[in-house]
């Protein structure tokens, strides 16, 4: 007998293809690729400042002089008592880990009145201090850390006051192709008056590029920071290595005589495992540290 022959119509073939595609899709393992998912680090979580260390000029590291840095109502704040008078006791609050390549975001607002006898330039003035020296190396009477300041500056109701400016305590930078040695330079931002919440961002790529960003616009850009330039006092001589590149450091906020609230401070590390075979590879890293790879 001849073997039977089955004839499949076009409809049968189409149905077979659809069923096969469905089965292949159903059997396909779900993607576990998280390499593009950004993993932001919460530097301030709204509950405490356990990961931060205060240092005030004239006082030892770790002493929160007159409780000026405080956490209340889920905000990290700087506050001054009504009878508190400024006596050159500038303060800074340092996060306990240093970084080199990262994005930093902070949401803040200025509030209330300036501390009695505070300098005029410090009115509605604070800063995100980038690439700070190790706080353990600060002199007892040191006023500012050797660092790069993303200056937070609020409007006074009368004059234009640009925000996210650059100040350089103990540092110099290159602006365009020119070495910049004065202390501060204004950004291209608008004025932010009143007690409004403001989100500011920094992009820091070691010593190759630093940008200050407001409303998704770069308002200040510089590169190649080095130690030098003055505008910092009370430092230990061994720490002030003039001309040394500033490639990494700690992050701090200021107590500079005007009350301020921080709602959030977050950081996206851009330095990490860049081996695509590793479990913790991230596509957005720009600086490799393959000692951190997990397989």
Q: What is the pLDDT of residues 263-278, one digit of tens each?
A: 999 999 999 999 999 9
Do 166 and 151 contact (CB within 8 A), yes or no? Answer: yes
pLDDT at 44: 97
pLDDT tens by residue, 125-134: 999 999 999 9
pLDDT at 47: 95
Mean pLDDT of 44-60: 97
Mean pLDDT of 63-78: 98
Do 189 and 219 contact (CB within 8 A), yes or no? Answer: yes
Q: Which residues pair with 174 in a beta bridge?
A: 179, 223
Do 268 and 248 contact (CB within 8 A), yes or no? Answer: no
Check residue 25 and give left, alpha or beta (phi > 0: left; psi -120 to 50: alpha): alpha
| pLDDT tops 50 at residue 28 | no
Q: How many Å apart are CA 156 and CA 280, to the nearest integer? A: 47
Q: How many Å apart are CA 89 and CA 56, to the nearest integer? A: 6
* Band (16; pLDDT cuts 50, 70, 90): very low
Q: What residues contact 249, with CB distance under 8 A and at least 6 apart?
A: 98, 99, 130, 131, 132, 133, 134, 147
Pairing of strands 178-180, 75-78: unpaired
Q: Which two tokens stand for residue 79?
A: 């506050």
* Band (34; pLDDT cuts 50, 70, 90): confident
Closest by alpha carbon to 200, among 267, 152, 251, 137? 152
Q: What single string gives the DSSP state of each residue in 176-234?
A: TTEEE-SSEE--S--B--TT--EEEEEEEETTTEEEEEETTEEEEEEEEEEE-S----S
Closest by alpha carbon to 135, among 69, 247, 52? 52
Half-sphere exposure of 147 (CA within 13 A, CB side): 28
pLDDT at 97: 98
| pLDDT tops 50 at residue 24 | no
Enter the pTM of the model. 0.88
Q: Most distant CA pair in the chain: distance in Å? A: 112
Which residue shows structure tokens 């040394």? 244
CA angle 244, 248, 252 (to 5 degrees): 115
Size of the chain in residues: 295
| pLDDT tops 80 at residue 242 | yes
pLDDT at 78: 98
* Band (19; pLDDT cuts 50, 70, 90): very low
pLDDT at 1: 44
Q: How many Å apart are CA 295 and CA 293, to the nearest integer? A: 7
pLDDT at 23: 47
| pLDDT tops 70 at residue 32 | no
pLDDT at 7: 43
Do 146 and 208 contact (CB within 8 A), yes or no? Answer: no
Percent of the chain with pLDDT over 70: 89
* Band (137; pLDDT cuts 50, 70, 90): very high
From first CA to last CA, the distance across the chain in angstroms is 62
């Amino acid at each position: 007998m001849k073997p039977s022959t089955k004839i499949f119509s076009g409809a049968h073939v189409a149905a077979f293809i659809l069923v096969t595609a469905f089965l292949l899709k159903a059997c396909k393992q779900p993607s576990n690729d998280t390499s593009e998912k950004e993993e932001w680090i919460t530097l301030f979580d709204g509950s405490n400042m356990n990961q931060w260390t205060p240092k005030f000029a004239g006082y030892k590291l770790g002493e929160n002089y007159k409780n000026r840095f405080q956490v209340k109502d889920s905000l990290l704040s700087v506050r001054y008592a009504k009878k508190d008078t400024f006596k050159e006791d500038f303060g800074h609050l340092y996060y306990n880990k240093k970084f080199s390549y990262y994005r930093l975001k902070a949401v803040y607002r200025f509030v209330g009145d300036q501390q009695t006898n505070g300098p005029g330039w410090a009115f509605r003035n604070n800063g995100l201090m980038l690439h700070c020296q190790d706080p353990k190396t600060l002199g007892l009477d040191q006023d500012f850390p050797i660092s790069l300041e993303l200056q937070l500056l609020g409007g006074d109701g009368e004059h234009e006051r640009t925000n996210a400016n650059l100040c350089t305590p103990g540092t110099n930078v290159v602006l365009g192709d020119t070495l910049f040695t004065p202390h501060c330079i204004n950004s291209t931002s608008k004025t932010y008056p009143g007690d409004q919440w403001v989100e500011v961002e920094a992009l820091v790529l070691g010593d190759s590029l630093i940008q200050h960003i407001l409303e998704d616009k770069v308002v200040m850009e510089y590169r190649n920071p080095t130690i030098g330039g003055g505008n910092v006092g009370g430092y230990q001589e061994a720490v002030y290595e003039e001309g040394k590149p500033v490639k990494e450091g700690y992050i701090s906020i200021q107590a500079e005589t005007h009350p301020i609230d921080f709602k959030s401070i977050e950081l996206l590390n851009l330095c990490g495992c860049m081996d695509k075979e590793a479990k913790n590879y991230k596509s957005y890293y720009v600086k490799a540290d393959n000692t951190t790879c997990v397989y």
